[in-house]
């Protein structure tokens, strides 16, 4: 279980690096890390990580909705696939936002980071 949470944390960190440094490989690593959690983590923690990955994809100019759909299809976990597709992507855009998950975007492109405004 601890390793699964490490993967979800890595997904968010890789996405932030991708947004800071405009590196496609870092964003792809964040997507792969999401599905490596293998459906073990609490769905709320996965949703928060998805919000960060999604926002970083938007910042870079990628199509995070499309890319998360692809990575969900590649997942071997029914739980992970369901959380990505039904729990996150199916939401209205405002409910996919960082603020919906109690997360604030701080700083600009060079100093981009995120902070929790409250816990869920």
Is the Cβ–Cβ distance between 120 and 30 less than 8 Å?
no
Rounded CA gap, 24 and 77, in Å?
25
Model pLDDT, residue 118: 59
State the total domains in the chain. Answer: 1
**Segment 8-63, tens digit of pLDDT:** 999 999 999 999 999 999 999 999 999 888 778 999 999 999 999 999 999 999 99
Rounded CA gap, 45 and 116, in Å?
12
Q: Which band of pLDDT confidence, cut at 50, 70 and 90, is reported for residue 74?
A: very high
> Radius of gyration (Cα) for the chain, nearest Å?
13
Q: Which band of pLDDT confidence, cut at 50, 70 and 90, is reported for residue 72?
A: very high
Q: Domain containing 90: what range?
A: 2-116
């Amino acid at each position: 279980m601890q390793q699964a949470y490490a993967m979800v944390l890595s997904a968010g960190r890789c996405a932030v690096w991708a947004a800071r440094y405009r590196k496609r490989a870092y964003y792809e690593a964040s997507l792969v890390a999401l599905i490596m959690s293998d459906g073990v983590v609490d769905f709320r923690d996965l949703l928060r990580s998805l919000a960060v990955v999604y926002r970083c994809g938007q910042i870079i100019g990628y199509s995070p909705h499309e890319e998360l759909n692809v990575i969900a299809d590649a997942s071997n976990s029914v739980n992970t696939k369901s959380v990505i597709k039904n729990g996150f992507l199916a939401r209205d855009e405002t409910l996919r936002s960082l603020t919906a998950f109690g997360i604030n975007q701080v700083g600009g492109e060079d100093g981009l980071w995120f902070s929790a405004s409250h816990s869920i």
